[in-house]
Amino acid sequence: MLLAIDIGNTNTVIGLFDGERLIDHFRAASEHSLTIDECGFFVSGLLERLKFSPDKVTQVVIASVVPRLTPVYEGMARKYFKREPLTVSSRLNLPIKIGYQDPTAVGADRIANAVAGFVRFGGPLIIVDYGTATTFDVITAEGVYLGGVIAPGPETSGGELARRAARLFEVRIEKPARVIGRTTAESIKSGLFYGTVGQVDLIIQLIIEELMTPARVISTGGLAPDFAAESKFIEATYPTLTLDGLKIIAGYSVQ
């Protein structure tokens, strides 16, 4: 079985694969003070909940954008699962080519998304990932990862707005009942929601114009279900796209 771990700035997503099948996945807060043992107890507990023992795990693959947590999860894989983890980077053997000016600067989660998207759908492809940052990744028909766009995610924007404006505060990120807010909370919620919707569609439009060819557009990320349905361009949402990419990379790297 394959244990796939996607360590993000806000959340860490852990998935367990049996062959091609994703048995289950879990989302937890990315605690930057986590120790190897705490991490081991947590992940082992998830497996016990699924009625699997650690010795059933034959491979561990990790994508991390949190340098503090990368060695923690790597150490956990060695100590609790007796496996040498595969940590995703542009240096691995991949089914796509990284066309970024500095390939080592591409986030592991973006690499995993691009791999899963291209293997499943081909290109040209645009992937929108709604998370701490809203990222846009562009893959050509030939499987070249061109790069993309990184913008603040709605929760990040809302938190910074509350921090900088003395009379404003954080609100739940969700579609408001109306665009014109009748209270401060409604007004903030409308701005964050529709501001994100408008931002995403404009950036997609500009990317397509720059590519000068039609492109398929898909989305992923924890907030994707809240926003993707409002987009004029996004045709489908795949919540486990990053985990799928990790599984593909784990299999491809051993070929």
Q: Clarify whether residues 60 and 181 are in a common domain.
A: no
Query: 211 lies in a domain?
Result: yes
Whether residue 109 lies in the annotated active site: yes
Angle, CA 126 vertex, CA 120 and CA 130 arms, to 5° = 100
CA 212 to chain centre: 27
Q: Clarify whether residues 131 and 56 are in a common domain.
A: no
Residue type for 116, please? A
Domain of 197, in residue numbers: 97-246
pTM of the entire structure?
0.92
Query: 255 lies in a domain?
Result: no
The total domain count for the chain is: 2
Q: Clarify whether residues 57 and 12 are in a common domain.
A: yes
Please state, in angstroms and rounded to a whole number, the distance separating the CA atoms of residues 169 and 166: 8
Q: Clarify whether residues 73 and 106 are in a common domain.
A: no
Query: 14 lies in a domain?
Result: yes
Residue type for 43, please? V
Q: Clarify whether residues 71 and 104 are in a common domain.
A: no
CB-facing half-sphere around the CA of 245: CA atoms within 13 A: 29
Q: Clarify whether residues 70 and 101 are in a common domain.
A: no
CB 108 within 8 A of CB 12: no
Query: 191 lies in a domain?
Result: yes
The catalytic position among 6, 109, 137, 226 is 109
Q: Clarify whether residues 188 and 83 are in a common domain.
A: no
Q: Clarify whether residues 116 and 239 are in a common domain.
A: yes
Please state, in angstroms and rounded to a whole number, the distance separating the CA atoms of residues 123 and 144: 9
Per-residue pLDDT of the chain (255 residues; tens, 9 = 90+): 999 999 999 899 999 999 999 999 999 999 989 999 999 999 999 998 888 888 899 999 999 999 999 999 999 999 999 999 999 999 999 999 999 999 999 999 999 999 999 999 999 999 999 988 999 999 999 999 999 999 999 988 888 888 878 677 788 888 999 999 999 889 999 999 999 999 999 999 999 999 999 999 999 998 899 899 999 999 999 999 999 999 999 998 765
Please state, in angstroms and rounded to a whole number, the distance separating the CA atoms of residues 29 and 42: 12
Among 60, 87, 114, the domain boundary falls at 87
Q: Clarify whether residues 101 and 141 are in a common domain.
A: yes
CATH number, residue 18: 3.30.420.40
Q: Clarify whether residues 71 and 151 are in a common domain.
A: no
CB 69 within 8 A of CB 34: yes
3-state secondary structure (DSSP) of residue 117: helix
Query: 251 lies in a domain?
Result: no
Please state, in angstroms and rounded to a whole number, the distance separating the CA atoms of residues 189 and 181: 8
Q: Clarify whether residues 142 and 62 are in a common domain.
A: no
10: left (phi over 0), alpha (psi -120 to 50) or beta: alpha
Q: Clarify whether residues 135 and 201 are in a common domain.
A: yes
Please state, in angstroms and rounded to a whole number, the distance separating the CA atoms of residues 227 and 185: 19
CB 9 within 8 A of CB 30: yes
